[in-house]
Amino acid sequence: MKKLVKGNIALCEGAIAAGLKSYFGYPITPQNEIPAYLSKKMIELKRVFVQAESELAAANMVLGAAVTGVRAMTSSSSPGISLKQEAISYMAGMELPALIVNVQRGGPGLGNISGSQGDYFQSVKGGGHGDYKLIVLAPNCVQEMYEMAYDSFDLAEKYRIPVMILTDGIIGQMMEPVDFNRPEREKLLIPNWALDGCKNRPPRSLKSLLMKDGDLEKHNFALQEKYKTISQNEVKYETFEISDADIIICAFGIAARISKSAVCLARKNGIKVGLFRPLTLFPFPSKEISELSQRFKNFLSVELNHGQMVEDVRLAVNGKANVEFLGKAGGGIVTELEILDKLKNFL
Amino acid sequence: MKNEIIIAGSCGQGVLLAGVIITQTAIEQNLHTTWFPSYGAEVRGGTANSTTIISNEEIGSPIASNPDVLVVLNELSLNKFMPTAKEDAVIIANSSLISSNIQCNPKTYFVALNDIADLEIKNIKSANMVAIGALLKILEKKHQDKTCVLTLENAFKACRKIFSQKSNLIESNRKALQAGYNFIV
């Protein structure tokens, strides 16, 4: 039978099943269930749990663990994720696999502890300095918190890239029945680039400081090639009731849950609406949205912010369809009825 | 069938736990369900509420802006959530703490949850479970389609699961559920 757990706990279980070896964190609501749960569970499993002295320290400890080739993660919420950006940029530069979880809360600044989606730009457009990308996953239910945490490590290692799970205080705090259906990963190989002691082999190095003439330029080209490959291979999305739709709602995470209810409500009111939900925010399903814009002429981006993903929807649509926006930030939650009103005024 | 249930009160009254018990009961019956908490920083005092949604279809939003079931354990919560409830919503108000003269939906069930918990269970803290017992009986009477009605038996099962680490609490919670259930005739 499925187990009733919070999103934050399901995420921990997914990471543990995937072979998470070391967790480094610092408390902040609404993600505190993650360090609280792992502080007990990781010790029981004889794995590493460290409550660091700060977010900066925690993120850099993840970097330190990742260079040794073990599965490492950290988690925080919006203001804490801002503090981790330096290390995230370094990890992207050093091509280190790791998992970073952002259980978003209201911003800017210290904001409040309500769920929000205000960190879309920060997650998909960089966040730290330099030209880099993270793979960004956006779960919309507790089951996906578990599954995406589990899958994130394979993805991170496949491309040697930090993966971010971008979720929010609502998905993190809510409970739903979960099927813990993934096999426990036991014997994980240490990758052939890891710094695991150079006895009987030439020493290796991992760094993001590339001072020799032309090296950094070459490195950046290689990174961009990698991001291109990821964009070709790893896009994930879901559609709901789009075949006969007059309007397509684009939404991710919790906004997609609310939008799905709104689609059902709108259809009861005779408005043909469909839902397009990106599961990956980078790589963004631009090609798919572009194709849809050949057939569908109205798009509505629904977000718990003041218009972030809508910019990527507009880029993908590229003027071929009408794109509108509905959103709230700072803990405000868009309701199905508000979406319905917007849809009514659309046509 | 879909029920959007908000249970609200002050922190310490067990409104989050009450929601968890209903949610687990729904799982026991293979229904779709979500639970979402909302509370301030206080351990006691302040306001807290939980939203439980139960459906025989997949659930979209876990947030109920217009609940069809409202269980309120104090007057502050009644005043806050009554205006949001659907017109024909099932409302249980804790008359131990809420004056029955208060202006509200004529179909409101006034149940002296604290008094029942105190007199019958000898534990005032189980008022939340008394409320759940009463709610189960009301929904049982209301729903025509009995296949998706949450049963008291499954609520007992849910109790055993939720309190599996604190087994000394199972019996008094079971009794409180039963007392609430019996109160509604």
| Chain segment B70-123, per-residue pLDDT in tens | 999 999 999 999 999 999 999 999 999 998 777 777 789 999 999 999 999 999
pLDDT of residue B46: 79
Q: ipTM surpassing 0.85, yes or no?
A: yes
Mutate to test the interface with B, among A6, A33, A176, A254 (most CBs of B within 10 A): A176
Among B7, B63, B66, the strongest candidate for a mutation testing the A interface, having the largest count of A CBs within 10 A, is B63
A262/B23 Cβ within 8 A? no
CA distance A202 to B35: 55
Cα distance between residue A113 and residue A330, in whole Å: 9
Chain A with chain B: Cβ pairs closer than 8 A:
52
Q: Residues 53-112, chain B: which have Cβ within 8 Å of A?
A: 60-63, 65-66
**Whether A335 and B63 lie within 8 Å, measured CB to CB:** yes
- Residue A6 parent element (H or E): strand A3-6
Dihedral over alpha carbons B54, B59, B65, B68 (to 10 degrees):
-30
The count of domains in chain B is: 1
Comparing CA positions, the residue from A125, A161, A142, A292 lying closest to residue A234 is A161
- Provide the mean pLDDT of chain A: 97
CB contact under 8 A, B24 and A4: yes
In one-letter notation, the amino acid at residue A314 is: R
Alpha-carbon distance A326 to A319, whole Å? 19
Whether B40 has its CB under 8 Å from any CB of chain A: the answer is no
Q: What would the pLDDT profile of A135-193 be if each residue is shown by its tens digit?
A: 999 999 999 999 999 999 999 999 999 999 999 999 999 999 999 999 999 889 999 99
d(CA A236, CA B110): 50
CA distance A192 to chain B (A): 44
Nearest chain A residue to B40, by CA: A113
We report the CATH number of the domain holding residue B127 as 3.40.920.10
Domain that holds residue B141: 2-183
pLDDT at position B41: 67
What is the spatial distance between Cα A339 and Cα B172, in angstroms, rounded to a whole number?
45
Sign of CA dihedral A164, A166, A170, A175: negative
Nearest neighbour of B35 by CB, restricted to A175, A260, A336 = A175
> Hey, what are B173's tokens?
């919670």
Residues 6+ apart with CB under 8 A from B92: B70, B71, B72, B108, B109, B111, B131, B134, B135, B138
The chain B residue lying nearest A4, using CA atoms, is B24
pLDDT, tens digit, 9 for 90 and up, residues A58-71: 999 999 999 999 99
Nearest to A82 by CA among A26, A143, A142, A135: A26
How far does the CA of residue A98 sit from the closest CA of chain B (Å)? 29
Alpha helices in chain B (DSSP H): 15-28, 75-81, 113-116, 127-142, 152-162, 170-183
Q: Please name the residue that has the structure tokens 């302040």.
A: B46
Give the separation between CA B66 and CA B81, rounded to whole angstroms: 9
Q: Given this model, what pLDDT does residue B146 score?
A: 73
In order of their start, the domains of chain A are 3-198+214-233 (3.40.50.970), 237-346 (3.40.50.920)
Q: Which residues of chain A have pLDDT under 70?
A: 347
Sheet of A175-178: strand order equals A3-6, A175-178, B32-39, B45-55, B2-11, B69-72, B90-94, B109-111
Of the partner residues B23, B33, B61, the one whose CB lies closest to the CB of residue A257? B61
